[in-house]
Structure 1
Amino acid sequence: MPWKQVSTSPHVWQRPLGENERMIKWLGGQSHPIGKDHWAITASARMRLSGIDAKVVDALPSFRALQQAWLLLRFHHPDIATVAGSEIVEYTIPEDEATKWLWLDETLHMVSDASTTVDDVIASLKPSKYTVAFFLPHAKQFVLSTAHWRTDGFGILHLLNDFFDALSVVVGSSLAQHDGVDIASSLPWGQERTRLHPNIEEVLSLPSEPTEEICAASTACLATGGFVKGSVGVPWQDVKASAQHAGGTRGIRRTLSTATTKAVLESCATKNVRLLAAAHASLAKVNFLAAAPKAERSTNGAGANLYDSFEPSHYTSTMRFSLRPYLPSPFGSATYAATLYTGGYLAKVSSDQSWQDWADFYESQYAKGLAGEFLIARREYARRALKLFQQASGAGTPPRSEIDISSVGDAEKLIAPRRRLGSTKVGDEDVAHLGLGIEAGISDAELEVEDISVGVECAQRESYLFLWTFRGHVELYLVYNSAFYEAKYMEGLLHQVEATLLTELGVS
């Protein structure tokens, strides 16, 4: 069902929450009692303004410019300001200046403490009904965070890219006019509701009631969940009342040099495996190596004895795919960034296979992509999966503690490293026609994105390895919950992943 105007208010628009959104929202909400939002998506970037004048080589945007850009992003992607209940997603068109600034105050934050890092910001995140942002001027870093039901890793990087486009428009126009651009007052609010996004079930035109074919496809997707039983896991530290322990999400980064990155990609090509398949195989090996002996598992941490009857013979992880390449135009484009268009299934590899066996297997799965059966099952699969999750939540199901993997591939396809401050485009739209008084800026000034990162909130024992390439470097980012793992231990595991990847690819 498309967005509809609420009869009692001309400013409020609603649509039903999709089954996939509902499932992910429920999973995230399970950690709300401890002040966390499991799987909330976070992206950050370090930026640099240059060429503005001879005296200012590395300028910082003013907070007013950030506010104007944030409002312009909302106008371009109104879904960042939607609110979800148990059944409905709702968007309210701002009626006046006070409403706009109230939303700004709630969602855009300046981090003034120079000792605070992006990692600290992420560790302190709380559930929010909106997409939120933080600017760390001392680090020149900007952070976006939103509940996972709203978007995915690809989507949040598209949003970050469009924010920097908006910031370039605002700063560039301000430079040209030597005055601020009042986006809040000038934007034609109300028009943005035409850009509110449909859910994945509507985009795929899936029927409300499943056919026999859809039921069979859903059953096949759910069957991969059986691979969880017996899967190896990483041993966690003992914490009291761990189920209620609100540890923060922390991350460890490893950046491969440009020379090493080049050698890694060349070796992957020689072995006929993509970087993701090679990294996935390396992670599988580290999971097997890290798996504690059964005797130790019975004493290593609250609830760990639940693994006693399992033999660590296989590693189960998720084959993740963006649905965007499979969607009809224009839904796969960056215009639909603030929408959950992702899916996956579970796959396992055995401990008695070689690294090359694992790499070849993962390569075959990634190369195969998603079949039509997977796509038609999205509504019914999510409906059934949610019921299973709800049934398992109070059944004492053994907690999973493996390190899983996720990749956005070449991040430069999602977020441009450079943009001219003279531009008037946000994403694919030229905003000059909106009558904002925007003028083209100076051509030799630019906003450069020097570094990016993407990850998720970890409220449980599972950890996640994020992989991407950006500006000639392979990036490995391991996120975990500090209540269950020591930083030094996780640093060691990530070092093993890197060492395994390089060794198996023959890169010194």
Structure 2
Amino acid sequence: MNSPVPCLQDGFTRPLGNLENFFKLLAKKGKPLKREHWTVHLALCLQFPGIIADPVPYLRRAWQVLRLQHPTLGATLQSSNDIAQPAPSRLIAGPLNLGDWANQTFVVYDEVACADQLFPNLLSTPTATCYWLPKSSELVIKSSHRRTDGVGMALLGRHFMLALSGTIRSGHDCPLEVLVPNIGKEPSVPQASSITTIEVSTACRNRGIKVTSAVHAAIVRVTANFPQHPLSKSYTAFVPVDLRLATARTAASDAKIVSEATGVYFSGLPLCISSVLPEDGKPREEFEAIARELGAVYARDLNHFWTPPGSAGQTISLLDLVEPYVR
């Protein structure tokens, strides 16, 4: 049985930003079905040492640590009901009792076979949630997109694994202060990685291309194999751009911003790759050429992103463009 945990944190409140409000509007599309549009999920397949007969207390404790590190995970949305004078939506989190919060947001599904079976059955929830599936040994974290983005969810997964490794090492009943890592002093995590992942990253490195560019290039090539409109000539998409590194360069504490897992720290920029489809009997562009073209887009300097006409070479940071662009 988990010992009671006292209130460890005062509440907070803040208004939603422009991009958060955008995703809030998108999420409403699923309300009639009790779903949330553009929800972000992460599934982790875990293996535990043989000495741990029941991993649930360790997983639950790691989830509590994650909540302490990222208070927004437990914040709920409050919208104005006054139609005449609507107030901006706000995130609100009351004083925290970690035991109660874990009881409400950490769920064990003994009968669900795997994460793929769980995904279509999850309804919308007011906060982020965590699910343990003993049959497949999978842990699923689910969050609204207005609360985090794809990179943020990957960081949440990393922070969860750090918390879990600390919990296994120190015990699930040890003081929380021991389990919450200090900045720059993160505990070690298991380093075993998928052989396939290693092979892909090694192949990309040998060819001088980034894994991100290679994955996107594969998507482009696969998409081009499907039937297209007769006028189609190019691949176009909006590329999500992670703003954390650009933000860190203008902040006093780089480490805190770069590792921030909650919050929406990205923007979407238009991308066009030409010569993807065969034209007049000419072969389409090769995979590596597409990957390098994508790499050039991803490698743009976000702090010197745009040179306005007639600006005498003075550049504008993407950070200065995000707010008016979203509006």
TM range (shorter): 0.7 to 0.9
- Would the alpha carbon gap of residues 291 and 88 (structure 1) be closer, same or farther in structure 2, given more than 3 Å must change? same
Specify the alignment match of 1:475 in structure 2: none
Tell me how far 1:349 sits from its aligned partner: 2.1
Q: TM-score, normalised by structure 2?
A: 0.72
In 2, the alpha carbon distance for the partners of 1:258 and 1:12 equals: 41
In 2, the alpha carbon distance for the partners of 1:17 and 1:106 equals: 24
Equivalences for residues 1-400 of structure 1 within 5 A: 12-50=11-49, 56=50, 59-86=52-79, 87-94=89-96, 100-113=98-111, 115-174=112-171, 180-181=173-174, 257=196, 260-261=199-200, 264-269=203-208, 273-292=209-228, 311-327=231-247, 328=251, 329-330=253-254, 331-334=256-259, 336-350=260-274, 351=277, 352=279, 354-355=285-286, 357-370=289-302, 371=305, 372-383=316-327
Contact (CA 8 Å) 1:319, 1:347: kept in 2 or not?
yes
Contact (CA 8 Å) 2:114, 2:135: kept in 1 or not?
no
Specify the alignment match of 1:244 in structure 2: none
Identical amino acids, percent of aligned pairs: 21
- Would the alpha carbon gap of residues 280 and 165 (structure 1) be closer, same or farther in structure 2, given more than 3 Å must change? closer
In 1, the alpha carbon distance for the partners of 2:155 and 2:201 equals: 26
Higher strand share: 1
The Cα offsets for residues 115-142 of structure 1, whole Å up to 9 and x where unpaired, read as: 5201112222221111100111222221
Contact (CA 8 Å) 1:41, 1:152: kept in 2 or not?
yes
Contact (CA 8 Å) 1:67, 1:104: kept in 2 or not?
yes
Which stretch of the first structure deviates more once superposed, 355-364 or 129-138? 355-364
Give the 3-state SS of the residue equivalent to 2:46 in structure 1: strand
In 2, the alpha carbon distance for the partners of 1:33 and 1:325 equals: 38
Give the 3-state SS of the residue equivalent to 1:20 in structure 2: helix
- Would the alpha carbon gap of residues 321 and 259 (structure 1) be closer, same or farther in structure 2, given more than 3 Å must change? closer
Contact (CA 8 Å) 1:151, 1:337: kept in 2 or not?
yes
Segments of structure 2 that go 5 or more residues without pairing to the other structure are 1-8, 80-88, 179-193, 306-315
- Would the alpha carbon gap of residues 74 and 274 (structure 1) be closer, same or farther in structure 2, given more than 3 Å must change? closer
Q: TM-score, normalised by structure 1?
A: 0.48
- Would the alpha carbon gap of residues 60 and 313 (structure 1) be closer, same or farther in structure 2, given more than 3 Å must change? farther
Give the 3-state SS of the residue equivalent to 2:164 in structure 1: helix
In 1, the alpha carbon distance for the partners of 2:170 and 2:72 equals: 26
Task: Using CA pairs under 8 Å that are at least 6 residues apart, name the structure with larger relative contact order, 1 or 2.
Answer: 1
- Would the alpha carbon gap of residues 369 and 121 (structure 1) be closer, same or farther in structure 2, given more than 3 Å must change? farther
Indicate the RMSD between aligned Cα atoms, in angstroms: 2.8
Segments of structure 1 that go 5 or more residues without pairing to the other structure are 1-9, 51-55, 188-254, 295-310, 384-508
